[in-house]
Structure formats: structure tokens, C-alpha cells
Chains A and B, each alone.
Chain A
């Protein structure tokens, strides 16, 4: 596994955004194709040099079986290896991981990884999202909304570790401060929020208030990366960002049946609704890279609820198990002086766009010194955590600006 560390680099990154209200409403396919074009330009390569295409899951607003085929058909790339990587939203980072494996196997020279969604441009998200995260047979008939599924874990987390509502709300407050600096963030112009405001916002599904839930990105985002071997990076004009380590872990599909799972990590002793695969994924990423949480200068997560951000900080090793609340409370992720965490504003204030590589782009931009929002000085090591399903799928990636 260690031979993978730093073996490959991202030499091109592209992103295309269409916001609600723009004259031309774009599909995820359009956005992904535009992003792929930008990524190829950034890498200084053309379509004939790409021999692998990996896409994330099929977007909800351009549904077709074999979505990856629709993408490569449009790009006129004829790959020798292609697939959709679909562990919910965590599959976006999975595309890069698959690329690294194929590159190390010597099967390909360049991989295109591309993901996108544009649901908020096309469908009503709040009502339309309820059914997809729950089991239609055993959960939906009870009126299980998506926040209510996550709230099961939130309540157990608070019960087992004594996490307080104020500690959970603190993450929302800090995320918002970062969003106020990021011109693409959904909440860019909405001003700061306080812990009191978070906890007095409308109750959605107890214990989660409105400001503790992810906001939808007001539009669509396509994002694409070109990955190649470290010995090829000089052929590209852009600064390479090295893939230092990665890991993935999935535990379940439906939260109601999650408790039938035990005997392997993260639930060795018995069923448990709190611990996630993020800890397993993170440990693999650290082991592969030889890096530790102390080396990380910036961290992004796609955790869509307040408590999950706190929990993920534990899982990623930034504090001990059960200490997430105190870590956040004592300034661990403060905008001023804490670990730069969710520097786009995160899912709570930047917004969620289904899935994508845009958090990876943020970390790469920060390493390169050209972020869209507030710059984090001297970023050498960045961590991206992709989450998907109701606390089900996790992917962790460590990237560096210099070879390991």
C-alpha cells in the first residue's frame, strides 16, 4: 500500500458552475463536459491521450443507465478502462482512487475523473430528497425524512458521549464565517450567525435545527480532474498536486438495518449507530502516506449536518473519540486560529450539490495559493473527506503540494 503514496498526481482540474436564475439552465452532463474540457486544458493534454474515464454516480437530473458512457460519448474519449464509482457521494473521491490504482498497474497514462449534479436547477429538492436516503419498504412509510435518519445517529452521539447542542451549533457558526469569504458559497451574502441563532432556528428533526442541516447549492456543479503518474507531471504546465494517501469504507445502506452490522471495524464489539467508516478510511490514508493528523493544514468534509462535522473531526483523528464537542468548543476549528476546516463554508454554508470533486479543488487551490475565498497560508498537506448515504460511505484523501 505504501508504494502508492505520492505515486500519482492531479495535473489538471476543472469546474463548471451554473447558478439558479442564470439565463441558460444547464444539465449535469453539460457541466461535467465543460469541467472535463477545462481539466484537459489545465493539464495540457487532449482527449486522445486519456485512456481511462471514471465518473461518480449517475446524477438524479440526467438519469440514464451507463452514465459514464454518456460522458465519454460526448467527450469522444475511447477508454481502455472506465467505470462509475458509486458509494453515494463518497464515490467522487473514489474516482481518483481508482485512477491511482490503474496508473500504478501500468494500464493507463492519464485518467479523467468527472462528477456532477445540478438537481436544484431541475427538481424540488426538499420534498424530492426524502425518499432516496431511506428504505422505501421499512422506513419511508413511517415518514422518515433525510434529516430524521441522520438525527437517529445525532441523538445516539449526544447520548453516548455527552455532546451538547451548543457544541454542535459551533461548527455551523465557524463554517458560516468561511462562507462569507467565498464568493461561490450559497450563504456568501447572508452574514454571520451565532450559536443562539442556530439553536433557535426552526426545528427540522430533533435534535437538528434548520441551520444545522446542509443547504442545497443554488445550482449545479460539474468538476473534473486529470490524474497521471508522478514521473509524467513535468509534461503538464500546471502545478501537480500529489495523491499522498487514500482510504474508503462503507458500513450500510439503510440506517434502520445498520444495527445488524458488527464484527468488523468500526463496530467490532457489537452494533453501534455512531462510529463511521471515516475512521477506517482515514487510518488507511494516514498509513499509506506516512502522514498524521498533525501534518494536515486544511480539511474539507461533505458532512451534511452539524453533529456529523463534530463526529468526523474525531474520526479523522483531529481529536480523541468522544472529544469532538470539547475540541470544537475550545476553538479547534475556529475561523480565527483553529484548524482550517470547511474553508468553502462546508455543506452547511457553501451548499451541497449532490456530489463532486469541488472540495478537492478547494484544497488544491489553497495549496497552489489561488483560492477563491480566504487564503490559508502555507498549506502543504490537505485532507478531503467525502461522505455519502445516511452516514454510510466514507472516502478520505490526503494530497500534498510536493512529492512525498
Chain B
């Protein structure tokens, strides 16, 4: 599915266009990076603090004008949940693990966790486990950064 978040998600009622859901030009650079298999996070040029790619305003110093920085792609599992019940295109993938990764740079992001290479299931996952980034096309045909247990 080709979604352009910079322009937002058009909301329609039948043929009628009724608005835009979350147009997000401030994240366009992130998705460009994903296409190149690069994980980018926001960087404040004023105070050097690093942020979630969504951020518009630096919560450290209050400045706008955040730029991008390439993340190393390593981190650990901050929290997780193995999803057993869901709907739509995700159903055939259950059980799969979603969670929050804590990047080495200190930024936290929601993601998909994959089992350790060679593991048959997600039994090895625990809070604090080391993970590293990969890029995969998930159920909605979107290329996304995901994190595999090291």
C-alpha cells in the first residue's frame, strides 16, 4: 500500500471526500530514509537532543527546525506484547510480537520484534533483550523498520 503520510490519509464517505487524517510533512524524511533502508530519528541542532521521528518541537529546548540523524539501528526491547487476536490482514500472522524498542540513541519507537535468527517462535523475547534493525515488508505491503532479537 503506497501511503503518502506527508499528504495525510484522505477520509472518504462513499464518493465524498470529507477530510485529511494526520497529514504529516514533518515525517516525510523518515519514510524517504526507510526506502533507503536507513533508520532516521529527529535531531535538535540547538541542543543536540534526539527524538522520535514524529517530533515537531524539541521537548528539550523548545526549538523547532529539527533535522534528521541516522540511527545505529541497535537497541533493546523496552516492552512488548505477543498479539494472538487481531483482524484483517494481520490475522494470518498471529502470534506476532509488537513492542517498544529503546534505541542506543535513547529514542523509543513502536515496532515489530522478530525472533532470533533460527528460533521457531517468540519464546526468547524478554524486556532488555538486544535487538537490531532490519527492513521488511509487513502485512499491509509497507516497507517498515523491524527489530530482530540478536
Q: Do A and B bind each other?
A: yes
Binding site for B on A (CB under 8 A): 126-127, 130, 134-139, 141-145, 147-148, 151-156, 159, 202-208, 210, 254-261, 263, 271, 273
Q: Decide if B96 touches A143 in the complex (CB within 8 Å).
A: yes
Q: Decide if B82 touches A137 in the complex (CB within 8 Å).
A: no
Q: Decide if A155 touches B98 in the complex (CB within 8 Å).
A: no
Closest residue of chain B to A204 (Cβ to Cβ) is: B85
Q: Decide if A205 touches B78 in the complex (CB within 8 Å).
A: no
Q: Decide if B87 touches A126 in the complex (CB within 8 Å).
A: yes
Q: Decide if B112 touches A206 in the complex (CB within 8 Å).
A: no
Complex Cα distance A152/B79, Å?
A: 5
Complex Cα distance A256/B101, Å?
A: 9
Q: Decide if B110 touches A139 in the complex (CB within 8 Å).
A: yes
Smallest CB–CB gap between B32 and chain A, Å?
14
Query: In chain B between 7 and 54, which residues have their CB closer than 8 angstroms to a CB of chain A?
Result: 9, 21-22, 24, 27, 51-54
**Interface assignment of B135: CB less than 8 Å from any CB of chain A:** no
Complex Cα distance A207/B108, Å?
A: 21
Most buried by A among B110, B111, B144: B110
**Interface assignment of B142: CB less than 8 Å from any CB of chain A:** yes
Smallest CB–CB gap between B103 and chain A, Å?
10
Q: Decide if B110 touches A205 in the complex (CB within 8 Å).
A: no
Smallest CB–CB gap between B89 and chain A, Å?
9
Q: Decide if B110 touches A143 in the complex (CB within 8 Å).
A: no
Question: In the complex where A141-B138, A260-B51, A261-B59 touch, is A205 in contact with B81 (Cβ < 8 A)?
Answer: yes
Smallest CB–CB gap between A153 and chain B, Å?
7
Smallest CB–CB gap between B148 and chain A, Å?
14
- List 19 A–B pairs whose Cβ atoms lie within 8 Å, in order of A's numbering: A134-B110, A135-B110, A136-B9, A137-B5, A137-B22, A142-B110, A142-B111, A143-B83, A144-B110, A147-B81, A148-B83, A202-B85, A205-B83, A205-B85, A208-B81, A254-B54, A255-B110, A256-B109, A259-B102
Q: Mark B128-150, 1 if CB is under 8 A from A, else 0.
A: 00000000001110101010000
Complex Cα distance A154/B80, Å?
A: 9
Q: Decide if A206 touches B82 in the complex (CB within 8 Å).
A: yes
Contacting residues, chain A, for B78 (C-beta < 8 A): 156, 259, 273
Complex Cα distance A245/B88, Å?
A: 45
Smallest CB–CB gap between B117 and chain A, Å?
20
Smallest CB–CB gap between A383 and chain B, Å?
29
Q: Mark B96-127, 1 if CB is under 8 A from A, else 0.
A: 10111010000111111000000000000001
Question: In the complex where A135-B110, A152-B99, A155-B79 touch, is A260 in contact with B59 (Cβ < 8 A)?
Answer: yes
Q: Decide if B98 touches A141 in the complex (CB within 8 Å).
A: no
Complex Cα distance A365/B17, Å?
A: 46
Q: Decide if B82 touches A205 in the complex (CB within 8 Å).
A: yes
Complex Cα distance A203/B83, Å?
A: 8
Complex Cα distance A207/B27, Å?
A: 32
Partner of B80, one of A139, A147, A155, A257: A155
Complex Cα distance A144/B140, Å?
A: 12
Contacting residues, chain B, for A135 (C-beta < 8 A): 54, 110
Contacting residues, chain A, for B24 (C-beta < 8 A): 137
Smallest CB–CB gap between B20 and chain A, Å?
12
Complex Cα distance A154/B99, Å?
A: 12
**Interface assignment of B93: CB less than 8 Å from any CB of chain A:** yes
Smallest CB–CB gap between B142 and chain A, Å?
5
Q: Decide if A141 touches B85 in the complex (CB within 8 Å).
A: no
Smallest CB–CB gap between B102 and chain A, Å?
8
Contacting residues, chain B, for A147 (C-beta < 8 A): 81, 85
Most buried by B among A139, A155, A254, A271: A155
Q: Decide if A141 touches B84 in the complex (CB within 8 Å).
A: no
Q: Decide if A256 touches B144 in the complex (CB within 8 Å).
A: no
Question: In the complex where A138-B54, A143-B139 touch, is A273 in contact with B100 (Cβ < 8 A)?
Answer: yes
Question: In the complex where A143-B83, A206-B82, A273-B79 touch, is A138 in contact with B96 (Cβ < 8 A)?
Answer: no
Complex Cα distance A269/B57, Å?
A: 20
Q: Decide if A145 touches B86 in the complex (CB within 8 Å).
A: yes
